[in-house]
Amino acid sequence: MSEDQPGEPKQRKGRRFYMIMTGVGLSVGVAVASSIAFATWTTDGSGTASDQALTAQAVTLDAVATPTADLYPGGQGAAQFTVTNPNPYPVQLTSISFTTVTSGNEANCPATNLTVAATIDLSASPISVPANGQSGTESVPGAFTLSASAPDGCQGVVFTVDATATGTQSS
């Protein structure tokens, strides 16, 4: 029996072989190309890394240039100031203490007419200052007392008092 079918040209048989070989060659070529595409190298490594904690900067308290007048003979007044925070994180002031008093008119109203509270605890209502920012005008009531015997020369006098605040970083 002949493999050739009647009326079937022999060229077709050769073409079929060529198409099969082309398909196999194409498959092998794709497989090789795929292997090349995924032939990247990987690596692992180890070593060290570092960082450093910054050093906290002191906040600055500045007296208000024109404070609200609330002192009178025998009465208490508020410490009025702004706070500047140069740190990259917010802070909360939890206490403030006062020391040296300076009178804006020492001749007519000596600084001895003003008594200051030694330390005021602000922990129940801390003063918050934003990171790299400044507070608005802060007011701490009851910080100062004007003498009951203050002379008339104390009217309108601005007292400046050295202050030290304590606080912590807040979240």
Does residue 157 contact residue 103 with C-beta atoms inside 8 Å? yes
Question: pLDDT tens, 74-133?
Answer: 999 999 999 999 999 999 999 999 999 999 999 999 999 999 999 999 999 999 999 999
* Total domain count, the chain: 2
pTM: 0.72
Residues 31 and 67 in one domain: no
CATH code for position 162: 2.60.40
Range of the domain at 26: 9-37
Residue 40 or 123, more confident: 123
- Are 86 and 31 found together in one domain? no
Percent of the chain with pLDDT over 70: 77
Would you call 28 exposed, middle or buried from its count of C-beta atoms within 10 A (0-12, 13-18, 19+)?
exposed
Q: Which residue has the tokens 């600055």?
A: 60
- Cα separation, 69 vs 61, in Å, equals 19
